[in-house]
Amino acid sequence: MSKPMPISGFPEWTPSQRMIEQYVLDRLRDTFELYGFAPLETRAVEPLDQLLRKGETSKEVYVIRRLHEEEGAAPTAEDTLGLHFDLTVPFARYVLENAGKLQFPFRRYQIQKVWRGERPQEGRYREFLQADIDIVDRDTLAPHHEAEMPLVIGDALRGLPIPPVRIQVNNRKVCEGFYLGLGLTDPEAALRAVDKLDKIGPDKVAELLGETAGATEAQAKACLALAQISAPDASFAAEVRALGVSHPLLDEGIEELTRVVETAAAHAPGLCVADLRIARGLDYYTGTVYETQLQGFERFGSICSGGRYDNLASSGANRFPGVGISIGVSRLLGLLFGADRLTVSRSVPTCVLVAVPTEERRAETDRIAQALRGRGIPCEVSPSAAKFGKQIRYAERRGIPYVWFPGADGAPDEVKDIRSGEQVAADAGEWNPPRADLKPLVS
């Protein structure tokens, strides 16, 4: 076998990085559970026709086939399975499938890998980890849930060793109502054009608004003026009104967005900002939308996005409107690892290496290790009865802080802090490391 190479778009962390990732996931999970979200995992695959319900994403889907099935007839979109590209579409399907067994409103979190067949030259991941929270209800969903989402995320991210975040909130009804009030007849086309503002700039967006949404120059200018509005509080509403456009959907949107921004300002000042350029690419959002910028990493785009969707989980007369938000964990960590902003104090969980004087005494060292583990102290027994200097270097290379030396001829055991060199007599049934040394520290 020749030396294997990485596969573009499929990142793999080192064990140290995975320790940091686990630390982050544990903190996220703790926060989600503090808010009463129940855990859920869905299968990795969905029928292709489900994944393609929103046409825009079709190019990104990976389909799977059993190897020995390849020779047979091509399966239909219904029979073909694809890897999920997000956790919202599978969740909506899960809710419809299990509605009879669930209690509504249903709050769940879901932390799983997703896959997208992006072109690797765009520098995007093809496999990455997302951490989602969603709330769905039957028939109607109370608007206060839209205000709750950013608060949960703010809490979850505040507990992590990462730069501060700013959550940008908008409401599609504001944009669509505004476009309709302006006299544009295809508000979705206008939304898609404005969504490209960061990428192509205002002049090109104005052109695009003319080409795809039939906007006049004045209409395009008004659309761009709306997208410029940004405020940390409900004052955005007056700025919108000042543009002189009115429509019932616009009123509805302004009311909803005001509520989200005001709740956030009351409970977590500085966390949220109303930013009327935020649109989100995916089609299924129908009201509030969220994006999140990481301070110092703004140019890399949103690390946490979501919104309200009224029609994603619907079947006949059953309607389950929902709101959700998704943290791009791999994306977030990839940025911070790349900037060397996250470190861990050692590369293994081990706190103590039990030295082995001779192979004949391995059973004895195993018992020492067992006594330490029984009291929650992670330890390894040295893999060989090499000279103690070599065993100490084994610990040093991994960042293991303590080496334990079994006593001989009635002498007590001793434990050495290999950072300070301090060595003291110790009993495996009683000794404890300082609390800070027990587990690897993430900072």
| Contact partners, residue 79, CB within 8 Å, separation at least 6 | 47
Residue 10 interacts with a copy of itself (CB under 8 A)?
A: yes
Restricting to residues 178-237, name those near a copy of itself by CB under 8 A: none
Nearest distance in Å: CB 148, a copy of itself: 8
Q: How far is the CB of 135 from a copy of itself (least distance, A)?
A: 8
Residue 344 contacts by C-beta under 8 Å, 6 or more apart in sequence? 16, 19, 20, 23, 440, 441, 442, 443
Q: Are 10 and 126 in contact (CB under 8 A)?
A: yes
Q: How many residues bind a copy of itself (CB under 8 A)?
A: 96
Cβ atoms of residues 148 and 138 within 8 Å: no
Scanning residues 64 to 123, which ones bind a copy of itself (CB under 8 A)? 64-70, 81-83, 93-94, 96-98, 101, 103, 105, 107-108, 113, 115, 117
Please check if 49 is assigned to a binding site. Answer: no
> Rounded to an integer, what distance in angstroms lies between the CA atom of residue 258 and that of residue 250?
12
CA 351 to centroid of chain Cα atoms? 30
Residue 323 interacts with a copy of itself (CB under 8 A): yes or no: no
Residues 272-301 that bind a copy of itself (CB under 8 A): none
- Phi, psi dihedrals of residue 415, rounded to the nearest 5°: -125, 135
Q: Residues 15, 123, 281, 429: which binds a copy of itself (CB under 8 A)?
A: 15
Of 366, 390, 411, 425, which lies in the binding site for a copy of itself, with binding defined by CB under 8 A? Answer: 366
Three-state DSSP state, 180: helix
Count Cβ atoms within 10 A of the Cβ of residue 379 and give its class: 0-12 exposed, 13-18 middle, 19 or more buried. buried
Is residue 134 annotated as involved in ligand binding? yes
Instruction: Name residue 307's beta-bridge partners.
Output: 289, 324
E strands, 73-201, are 81-83, 106-115, 127-136, 165-171
Q: Which is nearer to a copy of itself, 202 or 433 (CB)?
A: 433
Q: Which of residues 42-61 bind a copy of itself (CB under 8 A)?
A: 42-45, 47-48, 50, 53, 58-61
24-43 residues in contact with a copy of itself (CB under 8 A) are: 33-43
Q: Which residue, 113 or 221, is less far from a copy of itself as judged by CB?
A: 113
Q: Is 121 annotated as a binding residue?
A: no
CB 377, min distance to a copy of itself, A = 8
C-alpha gyration radius of the chain: 27
Phi-psi region of 399 (alpha: psi -120 to 50; beta: other; left: phi over 0): left
- Residues 376-405 within binding reach of a copy of itself (CB under 8 A): 376-380, 383-384, 394, 397-398
For the CB of residue 175, give the shortest distance to a copy of itself in the complex, in Å: 26
Does 192 carry a binding-site annotation? no
125 is in an annotated binding site: no
- Ligand-binding annotation for 87, yes or no, is yes
For the segment 134-153, give every residue that binds a copy of itself (CB under 8 A): 137, 142, 144-145
How near is the Cβ of 360 to a copy of itself at its closest, in Å?
12
Calculate the CA 263 to chain-centre distance: 23
CA separation for the pair 161, 29 (Å, rounded): 15
Measured from the CB atom, is 55 or 410 closer to a copy of itself?
55
CA 6, CA 4: separation in Å to the nearest integer? 7
State how far the Cα of 405 lies from the Cα of 325, in Å rounded to an integer. Answer: 51
Which one of 71, 72, 122, 363 is in contact with a copy of itself (CB under 8 A)?
363
Least Å distance between CB 280 and a copy of itself? 21
Strands (E), 92-154: 106-115, 127-136
The annotated binding site for L-histidine is made up of 86-88, 116, 130, 134, 280, 284-285
Binding residues: 86-88, 116, 130, 134, 280, 284-285
